[in-house]
């Protein structure tokens, strides 16, 4: 289970650092891979480009996906992940500042597993990250990969 | 002829004798009223039609002066006209363009056409007069002239055409709209008006009409004589003759260029508004996303500092950091309020029955839940029904009641009231409190964005609530104003539609 990777797709360095800190304080020991844009996220997910050599044992447990990203938006990443047979069941949690109705609608229509709005209050943010880690890394049962 | 022996062969001479003997019978059988008059004006003969037309028995007419058949106002001049005619007799046929009047025994007049035929006899000249009542003919002609005048005075082009598309009539509206005169178009194909690409339009529709389909007025384009294309609305219907036979089609074409121009201008204006709204939406979105992210960083690192470097900070340092976090939260609230203000401005306004009293009770319930220790007396009137967007009016009440709740905080016996009354004849709702109130000198600032009449130390707030309320009321076509005094509470009045459009 220690190889179950959390893929954090986040272009904001502060949010990245604070998310990592919150995961650490929540005792999440899983390795966290951070990518800064949508294109890199897909490269990592599909083992191509800079991530062509990702080891077969390094499986993604959950993707924490920001929406407002350079190159490809979070919505685009989600669509690409869902469209591919290899990854269409991969848990994807949208973690974003946007609480706009249309983002929520598009996110759920695109097949996200959860949609979490990052609160400005960091105490709440940390709590949200802690619960996410607990749920997706500990409680949630996934079907075995084929 | 009339004696039933017609089948026997007769010679031409026999027939002549018979005709001569029966001349009276011919006069009797004439379709018009006939009288024969002597030079002195005495009537020698009148036929049955004359009896019926003038209402005299025949024996009253015979020997009578013909002048009695002329209306009294012309009677004086009549013997002179009569004498003149006998002096220079010449046949005057029907329809010679002279319209006269005749009078019946009962005194009623009628327009008459009279033909005169001088006849020389062995005993002096006589005149046979045939009189025809033209009342009905005149009426038909009048009706036709009226219809023609109506057609001609129409602003619309009214065109009649044959089934093969040749123009039969062309009114002045058609001249004005299409630039062709009637002389230029009558007898020519109406297809001259069709721009390329629409040539089949007329025949197609006439074919539909001939099949018995209903054809609604439609909008199309026609080309004027000067080559300019104009927008028209066209109604086509079939023309039938008196036997019900379809003989052509009538087209009524209305120049709708002005309306079309206005529609296009409206569409362009709407498009511009939509673009502006989309830009506003994009702006709101980036405000939401891009301004919140650094705030979250400030708050997050402040917390990290407090937690991770706790021992390195003295009490003052820790207090400063807590202030940083408070201010961050305040700014987050400002952003949130601005976003909700922007959301209220855009989006469709719903129109539904809204129970303001029920909405207010729900709001007060929430306020009591959040601050259970506050003891506020709340009075909500019955029957506060408005018509508008229930969600938005709920937001307005949230803000007004929330303010009243907040500003009565320091009062010993706080009271909030929601009611309605008539002000200047319009049903007006109000939210009244007995709280901190405000100085009327600053009333104009109440509804401005970020305008606050209290310092954050006295009463917290973003300065956006009342701006939001005002925008909601205005979107409903209503008005909002306030009344108050420092320390004596505040009353906010607003109007919104009280009922929907009639069904």
Q: What is the reported pLDDT for B490?
A: 92
Q: Does A117 lie at the interface with B, CB-CB under 8 angstroms?
A: no
Q: What is the reported pLDDT for B481?
A: 93
Q: Does A14 lie at the interface with B, CB-CB under 8 angstroms?
A: yes
pLDDT band at A16 (very low <50, low <70, confident <90, very high): very high
User: Does the distance separating the beta carbons of B295 and A120 come in below 8 Å?
Assistant: yes
- Residues of chain A neighbouring B329 (CB-CB closer than 8 A): 120-121
Q: Does B327 lie at the interface with A, CB-CB under 8 angstroms?
A: no
Q: What is the reported pLDDT for B97?
A: 57
Q: What is the reported pLDDT for B86?
A: 84
Q: Does A21 lie at the interface with B, CB-CB under 8 angstroms?
A: yes
User: Does the distance separating the beta carbons of B296 and A97 come in below 8 Å?
Assistant: yes
Q: What is the reported pLDDT for B280?
A: 76
User: Does the distance separating the beta carbons of A15 and B297 come in below 8 Å?
Assistant: yes
Give the chain A residue nearest B289 (alpha carbons). Answer: A97
> Count of CB contacts below 8 A, A vs B?
56
Q: Does A122 lie at the interface with B, CB-CB under 8 angstroms?
A: yes
- Dist. CA B137–CA B92, nearest whole Å: 20
Q: State the complex-level ipTM.
A: 0.79
Low-confidence ranges of chain B (pLDDT < 50): 1-2, 4
User: Does the distance separating the beta carbons of B300 and A125 come in below 8 Å?
Assistant: yes
Q: Give me the torsion for CA of B421, B423, B427, B431, rounded to 10°.
A: -50
Greatest mean pLDDT among A1-15, A43-57, A132-146, B85-99: A43-57
Q: What is the reported pLDDT for B458?
A: 74
- Dist. CA B349–CA B351, nearest whole Å: 7
DSSP states along B332-396: HHHHHHHHHHHHHHSSPPP-EEEEHHHHHHHHHHHHHHH-TT---EEEE-S--EEEE-HHHHHHH
3-state secondary structure A38-50: HHHHHHHHCCCHH
User: Nearest-CA distance from A143 to chain B in Å?
Assistant: 35
Question: Which of A100, A116, A118, A122 should be substituted to probe chain B, the one whose Cβ sees the most B Cβ atoms within 10 Å?
Answer: A122
User: Does the distance separating the beta carbons of B289 and A122 come in below 8 Å?
Assistant: no
Query: Which member of A97, A123, A126 has the closest CB to residue B292?
Result: A97
Which percentage of chain B shows pLDDT scores above 90?
A: 39
| β-strand partners of B386 | B354
User: Does the distance separating the beta carbons of B304 and A21 come in below 8 Å?
Assistant: yes
| β-strand partners of B230 | B222
- Residues of chain B neighbouring A12 (CB-CB closer than 8 A): 293, 297
User: Does the distance separating the beta carbons of B285 and A15 come in below 8 Å?
Assistant: no
| Contact map slice: B 295-324 vs A, CB within 8 A | 295-297, 299-304
Of the candidates B268, B269, B289, B282, the one whose C-alpha atom is nearest the C-alpha of residue B346 is B282
Q: What is the reported pLDDT for A146?
A: 46
| Contact map slice: B 251-290 vs A, CB within 8 A | 285, 288-289
Q: What is the reported pLDDT for B1?
A: 46
User: Does the distance separating the beta carbons of B289 and A97 come in below 8 Å?
Assistant: yes
Taking 3-state DSSP, the helix, strand and coil percentages for chain A, each rounded to the nearest 5, stand at 40, 15, 40
Non-local (6+) Cβ contacts of B116 within 8 A are B85, B91, B92, B127, B128, B129
CA atoms within 13 A on the CB side of B164: 2
Q: What is the CA radius of gyration of chain B?
A: 47
User: Does the distance separating the beta carbons of A68 and B296 come in below 8 Å?
Assistant: no
User: Does the distance separating the beta carbons of A97 and B299 come in below 8 Å?
Assistant: no
Q: What is the reported pLDDT for B267?
A: 93
pLDDT band at A6 (very low <50, low <70, confident <90, very high): very high
* Tokens matching residue B301: 């690192």
- Residues of chain B neighbouring A126 (CB-CB closer than 8 A): 300, 303
User: At residue B473, what are phi and psi to the nearest 5 degrees?
Assistant: -65, -45
Question: Which of A14, A98, A99, A120 should be substituted to probe chain B, the one whose Cβ sees the most B Cβ atoms within 10 Å?
Answer: A120
Q: Model's pTM, two decimal places?
A: 0.49
Fold annotation for A5-138: Rossmann fold (3.40.50)
Give yes or no for residue A2 having a pLDDT over 50.
no
* Tokens matching residue B263: 């529609």
Query: Which member of B285, B301, B328 has the closest CB to residue A120?
Result: B328
Asked if B1 and B18 touch (Cβ cutoff 8 Å), the reply is: yes
Q: What is the reported pLDDT for B96?
A: 63
- Residues of chain B neighbouring A68 (CB-CB closer than 8 A): 289
* Domain residue spans of chain A: 5-138
User: Does the distance separating the beta carbons of B301 and A14 come in below 8 Å?
Assistant: yes
- Residues of chain A neighbouring B294 (CB-CB closer than 8 A): 14
**Between residues A103 and B180, which one has the greater pLDDT?**
B180
Which percentage of chain B shows pLDDT scores above 70?
A: 95
DSSP state of A118: P
* Tokens matching residue B10: 């007769």
Q: How do B385-388 and B124-133 pair as beta strands?
A: unpaired
């Amino acid at each position: 289970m220690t190889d179950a990777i959390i893929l954090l797709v986040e272009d904001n360095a502060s949010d990245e650092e604070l998310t990592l800190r919150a995961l650490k304080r929540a005792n999440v020991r899983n390795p966290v891979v951070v990518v800064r844009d949508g294109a890199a996220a897909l490269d990592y997910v599909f083992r191509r480009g800079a991530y062509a050599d990702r080891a077969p044992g390094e499986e993604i447990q959950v993707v924490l996906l920001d929406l407002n990203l350079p190159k490809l938006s979070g919505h685009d990443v989600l669509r690409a992940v869902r469209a591919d047979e290899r990854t269409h069941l991969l848990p994807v949690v949208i973690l974003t500042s946007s609480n706009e109705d249309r983002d929520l609608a598009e996110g759920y229509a695109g097949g996200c597993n959860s949609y979490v709005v990052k609160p400005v209050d960091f105490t709440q943010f940390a709590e949200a990250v802690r619960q996410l880690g607990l749920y997706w890394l500990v409680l949630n049962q996934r079907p075995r990969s084929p | 002829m009339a004696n039933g022996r017609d089948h026997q062969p007769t010679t031409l001479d026999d027939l002549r004798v018979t005709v001569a003997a029966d001349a009276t019978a011919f006069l009797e059988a004439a379709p018009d009223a006939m009288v024969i008059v002597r030079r002195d004006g005495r009537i020698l003969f009148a036929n049955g039609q004359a009896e019926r037309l003038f209402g005299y028995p025949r024996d009253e007419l015979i020997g009578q002066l013909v002048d009695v058949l002329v209306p009294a106002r012309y009677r004086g001049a009549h013997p002179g006209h009569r004498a003149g005619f006998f002096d220079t007799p010449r046949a005057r046929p029907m329809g010679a363009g002279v319209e006269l009047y005749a009078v019946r025994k009962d005194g009623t007049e009628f327009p008459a056409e009279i033909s005169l035929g001088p006849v020389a006899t062995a005993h002096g000249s006589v005149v046979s007069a045939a009189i025809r009542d033209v009342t009905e003919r005149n009426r038909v002609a009048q009706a036709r002239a009226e219809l023609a005048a109506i057609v001609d005075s129409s602003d619309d082009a009214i065109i009649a055409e044959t089934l093969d598309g040749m123009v039969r009539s062309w009114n002045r509206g058609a001249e004005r709209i299409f630039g062709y005169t009637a002389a230029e178009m009558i007898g020519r194909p109406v297809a001259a008006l069709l721009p390329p690409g629409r040539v089949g339009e007329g025949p197609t529709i006439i074919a539909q009409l001939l099949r018995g389909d209903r054809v609604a007025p439609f909008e199309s384009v026609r080309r004027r004589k000067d080559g300019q294309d104009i927008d028209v609305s066209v109604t086509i219907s079939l023309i039938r003759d008196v036997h019900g036979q379809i003989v052509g089609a009538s087209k009524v074409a209305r120049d709708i260029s002005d309306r079309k121009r206005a529609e296009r201008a409206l569409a362009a204006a709407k498009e511009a508004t939509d673009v502006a709204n989309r830009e506003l939406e994009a702006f709101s979105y980036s405000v939401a996303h891009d301004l919140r992210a650094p705030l979250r960083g400030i708050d997050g690192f402040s917390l990290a500092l407090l937690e991770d470097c706790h021992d390195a900070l003295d009490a003052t340092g820790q207090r400063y950091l807590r202030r940083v976090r408070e201010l961050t939260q305040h700014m987050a609230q400002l952003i949130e309020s601005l976003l909700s203000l922007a959301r209220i401005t855009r989006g469709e306004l719903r129109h539904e029955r809204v129970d303001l009293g029920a909405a207010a009770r729900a709001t007060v319930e929430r306020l009591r839940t959040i601050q259970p220790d506050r003891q506020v007396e709340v009075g909500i009137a019955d029957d506060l029904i408005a018509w508008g967007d229930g969600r938005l009016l709920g937001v307005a009440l949230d803000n007004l009641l929330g303010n009243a709740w907040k500003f009565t905080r320091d009062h010993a016996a706080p009271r909030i009231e929601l009611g309605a009354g008539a002000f200047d004849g319009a049903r007006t709702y109000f939210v009244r409190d007995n709280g901190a109130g405000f100085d009327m000198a600053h009333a104009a600032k109440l509804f401005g964005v970020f305008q606050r009449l209290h310092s954050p130390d006295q009463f917290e707030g973003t300065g956006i609530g009342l701006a939001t309320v005002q925008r909601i009321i205005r979107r409903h076509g209503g008005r909002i104003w306030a009344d108050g005094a420092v320390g004596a509470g505040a009353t906010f009045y607003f109007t919104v539609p009280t009922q929907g459009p009639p069904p």
